[in-house]
Structure 1
Amino acid sequence: PHAPARPVIAGGAADEPAPEFAARAGRGGGAGEAPADSRADVVRAYAPYAIIIAVFVVCQIDQVKDWLNGATQTVGWPGLHITAASGKPSTLPTFTFNYFTTPGTQMLVAGLLTMIALRVGAGRALRAYGTTLVQLRWAIVTVMAVLALAFVMNASGQTVTLGTWMAGAGGAFAVLSPVLGWLGTAVTGSDTSSNSLFGALQITAANKADLSPVLMAATNSSGGVLGKMVSPQNLAIAAAAVGLDGREGDIFRRVVLWSLLFLAGMCVLSGLQSTDVLSWMVP
């Protein structure tokens, strides 16, 4: 399955505070403190986020996307001969190397452009990349493992079986749908992983329960975003970014209530969107 990674990554850029602002917020603004940021400082602080958004927007232009797709290669995974429930060969063992359209490559390009915009030397940039890699090492392993599990579940029919069982909740499943996405992200630390793990399940349940597959897929991703603030991986990264290492528990206690309140609101909204009250909002 192909997860909607681009909205997840581009939207996630807004989750992290700029280091300059975070550091200044930690110092306070009393007398004798550092002077206010100049306009140039503010522009530099926002530059990385503006560059990320610009790169992703440009790469979504049809002509640019078609040109980038020219380097895509598709290969069959060796040793796998899977048959779908319909009796036809499954497409899951087909692996796609989309070198330039993958969000990871686009993030790398955005990082290189940020180096130029902020005049960061190659040595300093490599050290920053290395530090980030160390910080995210367990999150990377977790995402890889979850994506592998998602492929196994889809290929073995577990996703269809679970989706069919959950469809037994009928219309009430629309209210519970965001909770699945929230749990997926809270455990894995990644909305992309949550979408890969539960996306097909949500669509299967929606089809069986006569609900909108678009709505259920969207609520899975929306619920996942709300789970980011309580994910241990994201808490550790956020704490390290603002110099609060070891205080992840304090941060969790501050945000968990808000996460649950927003989740409850999302459940209500999803339920209403599945009825005639707000069904006009669903394409």
Structure 2
Amino acid sequence: MKWTQLVNPLDNIALSALVAVAPILFIFWALIIRRMKGYKASLLTLLLALLLAIFVYNMPVYLAVMSAVHGALYGLFPICWIIIGAVFLYNITVQSGQFEIIKSFMASVTTDRRLQALLIAFSFGAFLEGAAGMGAPVAITAAMLVGLGFNPLYAAGICLISNTAPVAFGAVGTPIIIAAQVSDLPDMAISQMVGRTLPILSVVVPLYLVVIMAGFRKSMEVLPAILVSGISFAFFQWLTANYLGPMLPDVIAGLASIICLTVLLRYWKPKANWRFQEEPPQTIETSRRYSAGQVLRAWSPFLMMTIMIIAWGLQPVRDALNFVGQLKFYVPGLQDGLLKADGSPLVIKPFDLNYLSNSGTALLLTGIISLPLVGMSFREGAKVYLMTLNQLKFPIITVASVVGFAFVANNSGMSITMAMVLASTGVLFPFFSPMLGWLGVFLTGSDTSSNALFCKLQHTSATAIGIDPVVTVAANASGGVTGKMISPQSIAVGAASVGLVGQESAIFRFTVKHSFIMLFVICVITMLQAYVITWIIPAYQVVETAAKTVATDLTTGFAYLLLLTAVMLMLALMVYLLNRRQTKDSVATLNS
């Protein structure tokens, strides 16, 4: 069966574009006006897209359905597989009680509210975004700030604004990975492009936060801390995104910012502590001191995660793991079954079930290895994993549905119809492209979902006006981060975590102007990247060279895996010995 895409099925590009954009308008209406649950809105959007593809674009039913299946498979693997692994690892630290040590350790570093906001809302929140995402950073950091005595409205608002800088690389790089899958661009190229945009925002956000809290004059009193926090984060975000890939920028940059700021505060303090005029009582214990072994034990799952993800990102390791376990197949009927409007074949990539080399597997293995280190049995770990699956069942449906819709829109020609209209904005399109990402995150609460919705559209529109598509695809992810703070889902999480349920409108009013200010900055940066500072665009190849398996890499890959095993064992042994020594010291103290 062969079918040729229709770009203008109604012989009127305006009407055709209105039909093509109908699923996006529907999800807007369902989420904002009807306040429908995300998974229901996503499923209905997919259904509407299928109906339009079949009855308006004349796409054969079989091809339309299999396009949706193809997209849903990509949503489940690797996207959801990575999210499940990340949240499972985070849940292990919570259920084992180790996360309480992390929270107390973070809160005990300083009593100044300005510095606590930098350390917890910005640096620690970014680390959590990279490790887990899915609303966890705002929920955890906002609750921590309220426990320290922050005004609940400021705690929620500050954490939502802080969450802008890391969102594009959240949940171990999931938004960038899905952007690459949808747009057919290399994930490394998108990572590099985003990594040359967001660090500018990352430098500014710490100052922005403190000015919101205490005003400009009081901000200057802690300028050294602001500079150390922002510059260290921005530098490591840029370095990791450009040279390691999209999976670890938040984790490494967040850890680096925490360490740099903590070291600074050991040798420098502001002249006077600053607090809010009226504060609720503090509920988090900050006077208790933990040993180095206890702190290392609490952080060990995340340290191991960082090591594992770095190892899994090395090409020789990927080749070795793919040699042992990988399955590629084409979705029946799609290969050679779809033709572009000009009659040329539409390239359909095979579904790659790289179940060993996928980063979600690295996260799962990290969680399993971490169980004995944090004092949990494997039976308890299995219960936590089942709890994680139950916790994520609706987000999994949402992601699979949204990616399924994206594939239907791309294969049917709806994306090209919308792109033709957007391309009519001509040279101004790069300025508007971040707004699509902002809109997508505002609607769905997820940069991943936004990228699934719009990245193919960004690619096609950029190609139509003659600019490098990696600029606008990356702009979709970068612009999306500025919509996170006003997304209804994010605001609901923030309100619930600080006890302001029913007062979501107050949080929205707190954050909305900051969302537009940051969006405007990203729009200007994207315009400059497209036409003025074009040297900043990374060089890349659209055709994946990784498909060529080099036999000589296998030996190197297996050697790296042996080295990884040795490093993990050494770290586990260090945690064990430090905690054993701590236990002996505690027993000796009790006996005396």
Shorter-chain TM-score above 0.5: yes
Residues in 2 aligned to 1:236 and 1:112: alpha-carbon distance in whole angstroms: 32
Gap change, CA 1:55 and 1:155, over 3 Å in 2: same
Partner of 1:279: 534
Contact 2:138 2:494 in 1 (8 A): no
Gap change, CA 1:149 and 1:124, over 3 Å in 2: same
Amino acid in the other structure paired with 1:156: S
Gap change, CA 1:261 and 1:55, over 3 Å in 2: farther
Contact 2:334 2:348 in 1 (8 A): no
Please tell me whether residue 58 in structure 1 is matched to residue 58 in structure 2: no
Contact 1:92 1:155 in 2 (8 A): no
Deviation at 1:22, TM superposition (A): 6.1
Amino acid in the other structure paired with 1:74: K
Deviation at 1:17, TM superposition (A): 4.1
Partner of 2:445: 189
Partner of 1:13: 130
Which is further off, 18-27 or 121-130? 18-27
The Cα offsets for residues 35-68 of structure 1, whole Å up to 9 and x where unpaired, read as 2453455445544443333322211101011122
Gap change, CA 1:37 and 1:150, over 3 Å in 2: farther
Provide the secondary structure at the position in 1 that maps to 2:356: coil
Deviation at 1:177, TM superposition (A): 0.9
Provide the secondary structure at the position in 2 that maps to 1:74: strand
Residues in 2 aligned to 1:244 and 1:206: alpha-carbon distance in whole angstroms: 44
Deviation at 1:166, TM superposition (A): 0.8
Q: Calculate the TM-score normalised by the size of structure 1.
A: 0.80
The Cα offsets for residues 13-49 of structure 1, whole Å up to 9 and x where unpaired, read as 2664499876553322778962245345544554444
Q: What does 1:102-251 align with in structure 2 at a 5 Å threshold? A: 102-236=358-492, 242=497, 244=499, 246=501, 249=504, 251=507
Partner of 1:267: 523
The Cα offsets for residues 102-131 of structure 1, whole Å up to 9 and x where unpaired, read as 343333233324434423333443444344
Contact 2:309 2:362 in 1 (8 A): yes
Contact 1:73 1:97 in 2 (8 A): yes
Which is further off, 195-204 or 129-138? 129-138
Partner of 2:186: none
% identical equivalent positions: 35
Deviation at 1:227, TM superposition (A): 2.8
Of the two, which has the highest radius of gyration? Answer: 2
Partner of 2:146: 26
Provide the secondary structure at the position in 2 that maps to 1:99: coil
Which is further off, 143-152 or 265-274? 265-274
Residues in 2 aligned to 1:253 and 1:137: alpha-carbon distance in whole angstroms: 31
The Cα offsets for residues 117-176 of structure 1, whole Å up to 9 and x where unpaired, read as 423333443444344434433222111110000110111111122122211111211111
Deviation at 1:216, TM superposition (A): 1.0
Gap change, CA 1:191 and 1:20, over 3 Å in 2: closer
Contact 1:236 1:245 in 2 (8 A): no
Deviation at 1:238, TM superposition (A): 5.8
Structure 1 gaps, min length 5 = none
Amino acid in the other structure paired with 2:331: W
Gap change, CA 1:112 and 1:179, over 3 Å in 2: farther
Gap change, CA 1:31 and 1:156, over 3 Å in 2: closer
Structure 2 gaps, min length 5 = 1-70, 87-125, 150-280, 539-592
The aligned length equals 280
Residues in 2 aligned to 1:98 and 1:248: alpha-carbon distance in whole angstroms: 45
Partner of 1:99: 355
Contact 1:143 1:188 in 2 (8 A): no
Contact 1:175 1:271 in 2 (8 A): yes
Residues in 1 aligned to 2:491 and 2:305: alpha-carbon distance in whole angstroms: 22
Higher RCO, Cα 8 Å, sep 6+: 2
